[in-house]
Structure 1
Amino acid sequence: MSRSNALDYLNNPSPQTLGRSPLEWLSRLQRPTVVRVAGRDPSRTRAMATLLHGNEPSGLFAIHRWLLEQHTPEVNLLFLLGGVHPAKIPPVLSLRQVPGGRDLNRCFKEPFEGEEGAIAQAMLAELQTANPECLLDVHNTSGTGPAFAVTITNDAAHQALASLFTDRLIMTDLRLGALMEYSEQEVPTVTIECGGAQDDLAHQLAYEGLVRYASQSDVLSLEKADWNVAVLRNPIRVELAPDATIEYRLTPSGQADLTFPPDIERRNFGIVSPDEPIGWVGQKGLDVLTAISHNRTENMEQVLQIRDGRIYPAQAIKTFMITTNPVIAKSDCLFYAVKATGDPIF
């Protein structure tokens, strides 16, 4: 194992190096790690990042399983394991980021400040050196729900990459400093949200998608002429004010600014009509929420409305990335929404 300032390196690791389980492998990793695997065609490279959030393990599990099986990929593979530090903090795989630290997947833009900025900058340098033909960033959703992909570019190559894992693709013009924005370097880049972090089906989906990604000679063309990737465009991002409180209860306690029912995650990728309540607000009303579009304009009146203290959609909407984790609901976002047709909400 060699070292750079921010990263460790593994080249064609043996089963002995990897340990018997992903958790044993994680325990051996000391820093964010680059894994290189030589392919049949050494002139091409594909990249895959994962564990950018320390509580999203499906990509780690998939890579460990795939490496243990000692496959020879079609082309060189470059794996980037980002959030090793938060992932290792007991209880393992429970923290999105180091306490007091920054969200690594918001650090892939200047200025590259702090430890997370240094890691992001080093990962970008590895990508620039490797010059991959495409890049995947594999995550778990913050709540339960079906898998989907996210991209900032909707074309055939991005749809083909998404289709290795899912038939749902979110296209957004919102820029947050995420690794997905590497697509702007003319490298097809897709984020894969595999499903819930505790969901065995999500781990299996990540593995099967990786097998396809590694073994196919062409991953940038849709193989099936009839493959129908459903594209949802420019979702609204609904955020909770930093000082607001949220509870998940069947009925409001009267103590919180926002109350969602405990089964709110069932709304993920479902259509919610204007006569279906999704929760309750406290005395501050909708002032504790913001609805940010891709162009940073406020669109709350197009998304949510209040009647008798209950929250209703202002129009039929499709929601996703809903979570019942109050920490993520406050630090990241409550949910994303598009029109029921998949079109943007203006």
Structure 2
Amino acid sequence: MLNIIDHVPDGLLAADARHLHEVLAGPTLIHLPGRRPEPLFVSVLLHGNEDTGLTAVQALWRKYQGRELPRALSVFIGNVAAARHGMRRLEGQPDYNRIWPGGEAGQTPEHAMMGQVVAEMRARGVFASVDVHNNTGLNPHYACVNRIDQRFFHLATLFSRTVVYFIRPLGVQTAAFAELCPAVTLECGQPGQAYGVEHVLDYLEACLHLAEIPTHPVAEHDMDLFHTVATVTVPAAVDFGFGDAAADIRFVGDLDHLNFRELPAGTLLGWLRPDGGVRLEVRDEQGREVGADFFRWDHGEIRTARPLMPSMLTLDQRVIRQDCLCYLMERYPLAGA
């Protein structure tokens, strides 16, 4: 299932995500040499509708055409089939960012492929890993890590002072590569924004020029560290909408404007159909249902029960069904990091 090549194929630099299938037969790992041999690993298009990483890598390759890269570079281009249709994943496909080693075991060809990618990069002595994503709601640019480790923090703050530490969901690329090297996920706002491409391009070039990743503590004033403490989903049997929509759960129309805002207890998020008996599902890092810790359901309203900060809130119903409604975060004390 995985194609492994040592060159940039003809036509790849000009192909947008929807036309990648005309150049690549499927998921492809591209190894290119550089002055320093330990490669920077970059994964893009794990979700087919998130193309900022691909566009940034194409820009990087164009910049270095005919020139030696400062460091070897390995790029994994993921869900080419879903990208053709502008979708996160196709129906019947697993999520390409939930099937990496370390997550729940699976027997699909895609699970085996991700294991092959990790083994390939382990053998090459990978220097650092960068997984590039977009999101559908209104979010700032930020970086995510799976380890409380100063090397990971340095790699993250090279992109943004806003850093999120998380251990769920399982099976993500960053967690798999954290076993091999410092690893980060970049969240680069919505697709199609020029600033997102420029930001990722500058970041990748900075990473390629790193001789080493520092181990000393990141200065406290250089990082806002948050911890993802719960994942919120809408149960599959529950219908939902926004604004004036008639549904079991009706969220406020500008729900995605609440991302990365520290919400006080009592903040209104939406309404429940009277006598419907429905609730949002909220799971903590151990997978326990903890909805009552975070939300109140009184008088047909959904309100926060404690101060919290959401991320990844979106108005895209398909994404909510395929992934989640949002994540809930709290500040993580740097003294404990």
Normalization by structure 2: what TM-score? 0.89
1:148 aligns with 142
1:3 aligns with none
1:96 corresponds to which of 81, 88, 102: 88
1:157 and 2:148 matched? no
Q: Output the CA distance in 2 between the equivalents of 1:114 and 1:327.
A: 23
Alpha-carbon contact 1:105-1:179 (below 8 Å) kept: yes
Q: Output the CA distance in 2 between the equivalents of 1:112 and 1:167.
A: 36
1:301 and 2:292 matched? yes
Deviation of 1:327 (Å): 1.2
Change (3 A) 1:333 1:175: closer
Deviation of 1:219 (Å): 3.9
2:317 aligns with 326
Residues 101-129 of structure 1: CA deviation (Å, up to 9, x unaligned): 11111111363422322332222222222
Q: Output the CA distance in 1 between the equivalents of 2:150 and 2:5.
A: 33
Alpha-carbon contact 1:173-1:295 (below 8 Å) kept: no
List alignment gaps of at least 5 residues for structure 1: 1-5
1:74 corresponds to which of 63, 70, 77: 70
Residues 91-150 of structure 1: CA deviation (Å, up to 9, x unaligned): xxx211122211111111363422322332222222222220221111112322101222
The total of aligned residue pairs comes to: 328
List alignment gaps of at least 5 residues for structure 2: none
1:242 corresponds to which of 220, 224, 236: 236
Moved more, 121-130 or 133-142: 121-130
2:204 aligns with 210
1:338 aligns with 329
**Secondary structure of 1:235's match?**
strand
Deviation of 1:159 (Å): 0.7
Q: Output the CA distance in 1 between the equivalents of 2:283 and 2:217.
A: 36
2:282 aligns with 291
Alpha-carbon contact 1:103-1:116 (below 8 Å) kept: no
Q: Output the CA distance in 1 between the equivalents of 2:51 and 2:214.
A: 26
Alignment of 1:86-235 (within 5 A): 86-89=82-85, 94-109=86-101, 111-220=105-214, 225=219, 228-235=222-229
Alpha-carbon contact 1:19-1:25 (below 8 Å) kept: no
Q: Output the CA distance in 1 between the equivalents of 2:273 and 2:316.
A: 19
Q: Output the CA distance in 2 between the equivalents of 1:222 and 1:208.
A: 23
1:260 aligns with 251
Aligned-pair identity (%): 23
Alpha-carbon contact 1:8-1:34 (below 8 Å) kept: yes
Residues 309-330 of structure 1: CA deviation (Å, up to 9, x unaligned): 2211101111111111111112
Deviation of 1:49 (Å): 1.0
Q: Output the CA distance in 1 between the equivalents of 2:205 and 2:217.
A: 16
Normalization by structure 1: what TM-score? 0.87
1:54 and 2:45 matched? no
**Secondary structure of 2:296's match?**
strand
Residues 187-243 of structure 1: CA deviation (Å, up to 9, x unaligned): 221111111123332222222211211223234457985761211124211111111
Change (3 A) 1:144 1:118: same
Change (3 A) 1:224 1:241: closer
**Secondary structure of 2:204's match?**
helix
Alpha-carbon contact 2:248-2:278 (below 8 Å) kept: no
Which amino acid in 2 is paired with 1:65? A
2:261 aligns with 270
1:30 and 2:22 matched? no
Alpha-carbon contact 2:52-2:134 (below 8 Å) kept: yes
Residues 239-266 of structure 1: CA deviation (Å, up to 9, x unaligned): 11111111122x3x4x312222332111
Alpha-carbon contact 2:98-2:169 (below 8 Å) kept: no
Alpha-carbon contact 1:152-1:183 (below 8 Å) kept: no
Alpha-carbon contact 1:318-1:342 (below 8 Å) kept: no
Alpha-carbon contact 1:47-1:77 (below 8 Å) kept: yes
Change (3 A) 1:138 1:220: farther
Moved more, 175-184 or 72-81: 175-184
